[in-house]
Chain A
Amino acid sequence: MGLESIVFYLFAVIVVASALVVVLSKKIMYAAFSLLFTLFGIAGMYAMLMADFIAVAQIMIYVGGILVLIVFGVMLTTKITGVDVKTGPTGKLNYIAGGLLAVMVAGSLAWLYTSNSWISAPVNETNTSINAVGNLLLTEYLLAFEVGSVLLLIALIGAALIARRK
Chain B
Amino acid sequence: MINFDMNLLTAHLSQSISVFAPEIALLVTFIVALFMDVVFKKTRNASGYTVCVGLVVTGILLCTQCGVKDNIFVSMLAVDPFALFFKFLILISSLVVCLMSFFSDELNKDDRKMGEYYSLIAGMTFGMFLLTGATNMIMIYLAIEMMSLTSYVLAGFTKEIKRASEASLKYVIYGSISSGIMVYGMSIMFGASGTMNLVELAGLISAGKVAMMPMIVASLMIIAGFGYKISAVPFHFWTPDIYEGAPVTISAFLAVASKTAGFAGFIRFAQMILTNDPFLDWKIVLAVLAVLTMCIGNLSAIWQNNAKRLMAYSAIAHAGYVLMGMVVMDEVGISSIMIYLFMYAFMTLGAFAVIMLIANKIGSEDLDDYNGIGYKMPVLGAFMVIFLFSLAGCPPTAGFVGKLYIFTALFESGSQWAWLAVIGILNSVVSFYYYAKIMRNMYLRGDANDTVERYSFSSASIALVAIITVPVVLFGIYFGPIVEWANNSVALFFN
Nearest CB in chain B to that of A116: its residue: B211
- Chain A: interface secondary structure? helix
Is the CB–CB distance between B150 and A154 below 8 Å?
Answer: yes
Q: Do A132 and B214 form a contact, CB below 8 Å, given A118-B191, A155-B149, A157-B34?
A: no
B142 close to A (CB within 8 Å): yes
Is the CB–CB distance between A139 and B4 below 8 Å?
Answer: yes
A153-166 vs B, CB cutoff 8 Å, 1 = contact: the mask equals 01101100110001
**CB of A106, distance to nearest CB on chain B (Å):** 13
**CB of A35, distance to nearest CB on chain B (Å):** 16
Report chain A residues within 8 Å CB of B76. Answer: 141, 143-144
Size class of the A contact interface (CB-based, 8 Å): 20 to 34
B209-246 vs A, CB cutoff 8 Å, 1 = contact: the mask equals 00101100100000000000000000000000000000
Is the CB–CB distance between A157 and B138 below 8 Å?
Answer: no
A17 close to B (CB within 8 Å): no
A115 close to B (CB within 8 Å): yes
How many residues does chain B have at the interface if contact means C-beta atoms less than 8 Å apart?
45
Is the CB–CB distance between A147 and B130 below 8 Å?
Answer: yes
B74 close to A (CB within 8 Å): yes
A140 close to B (CB within 8 Å): yes
Report chain A residues within 8 Å CB of B145. Answer: 151
**CB of B487, distance to nearest CB on chain A (Å):** 30
Is the CB–CB distance between B149 and A154 below 8 Å?
Answer: yes
Q: Do A143 and B73 form a contact, CB below 8 Å, given A118-B192, A151-B146?
A: yes
**CB of A127, distance to nearest CB on chain B (Å):** 14
Give the residues from 427 to 450 in chain B that come closer than 8 angstroms, CB to CB, to chain A.
none
**CB of B454, distance to nearest CB on chain A (Å):** 35
Interface centre among A108, A143, A155, A158 (most CB of B within 10 A): A143
**CB of B58, distance to nearest CB on chain A (Å):** 15
B365 close to A (CB within 8 Å): no
Nearest CB in chain A to that of B9: its residue: A139
Find B120's partner among A116, A142, A143, A157 (CB 8 Å cutoff).
A157
15 A-B pairs besides A116-B211, A142-B73, A142-B74 with CB distance below 8 A are: A112-B213, A112-B217, A118-B191, A136-B2, A139-B2, A143-B74, A144-B76, A148-B142, A150-B146, A154-B146, A154-B149, A157-B116, A157-B120, A157-B153, A162-B153
Can you offer 18 A-B residue contacts whose CB atoms are under 8 A?
Answer: A112-B214, A116-B211, A116-B214, A119-B192, A119-B193, A119-B194, A136-B2, A141-B76, A150-B30, A150-B126, A151-B142, A155-B149, A157-B34, A157-B116, A157-B119, A157-B153, A158-B149, A166-B112
